[in-house]
Structure 1
Amino acid sequence: MNYTENYKGIKLDVQSVNLDISDSEQAEIRSAIDKISRFANVINAVDVYFKHEGTGKDITNVVGMRVGVPGPDVFAEDKGMDEHWKVLLKSVTDKVIRQLQKLK
């Protein structure tokens, strides 16, 4: 499932490989953008991806986020066995915020 939207003037592109992103997960992504926008003056785009790696019992969930800001883009990724994407999304959001704080 892929979807694109304009959220508060930010181009949001979400990609998920063989997964459906629920409305509650979409709301979590928007909440993460709200949190990130407090640490960046201008955000042009946010790309988020969700995917599974591995097979059988060794499946790992992966969440990645690229935040397009003036200058170099900020990217973070996290992997985990947790079935809940929300935990991984929060971790990625925190990593992006730390990078944005270093850029200031």
Structure 2
Amino acid sequence: MEDEQRLDGVGLNIQAVNIEVDDDFRDRIVQSLGKLRRYYSGDVIIAEVYMREEAHPGPNEKSLRIRCGVPGTEVFAEESGQNWDAMLNDVTAKLKRQLEHKFANSQNSYRNR
């Protein structure tokens, strides 16, 4: 499944392999990325979400990857596990730390206050 949307002018592409993403979880993804946008408005150009569930069960059968394109480079975070919501929270936190580090000494430093 592939779903392309726009999130406040940011291209949002959600790809899911071996699973069907329901509207509720799609909304949680948009909310999580929206929180990043509040702190880094105008800097994120595109967000790509890649979700995969392995065909055979195991301890890390699910994986979630998010790539955010920002000027100059991109930030990327991934997590594997069993719970989509926990992985989404972890990936969002990793992205936030990367964005804070990237923009801490730039014209966007006022956003970290």
Q: Is the 8 A contact 1:52 1:59 kept in 2?
A: no
Output the aligned Cα RMSD: 1.5
Equivalence map 1:47-58=2 (5 Å):
47-53=48-54, 55-58=56-59
Off by >6 Å, runs of 4+ in structure 1: none
Question: What are the superposed Cα offsets for residues 22-70 of structure 1, whole Å, 9 maximum, x if unpaired?
Answer: 0011100110111111332421110001102462445521000000111
Structure 1 distance, partners of 2:89, 2:18, is 22
If you compute each CA radius of gyration, which structure gives the higher value, 1 or 2? 2
TM-score by length of 2: 0.83
Partner of 1:37: 37
Structure 2 distance, partners of 1:36, 1:7, is 11
User: Structure 1: which amino acid aligns with 2:51?
Assistant: F
User: Structure 1: which amino acid aligns with 2:87?
Assistant: L
Structure 2 distance, partners of 1:75, 1:36, is 13
**Structure 2 gap ranges (5+):** 104-113
Structure 1 distance, partners of 2:15, 2:56, is 20
Q: Is the 8 A contact 1:39 1:100 kept in 2?
A: no
Partner of 1:23: 23
TM-score by length of 1: 0.89
Structure 1 distance, partners of 2:79, 2:60, is 14
Structure 1 distance, partners of 2:58, 2:66, is 25
What's the % identity of the aligned pairs? Answer: 30
Q: Is the 8 A contact 1:48 1:64 kept in 2?
A: yes
User: Structure 2: which amino acid aligns with 1:71?
Assistant: G
Structure 2 distance, partners of 1:7, 1:97, is 17
Structure 2 distance, partners of 1:28, 1:75, is 18
Q: Which moved more, 1:31-40 or 1:92-101?
A: 31-40
**Structure 1 gap ranges (5+):** none
Q: Which moved more, 1:37-46 or 1:85-94?
A: 37-46
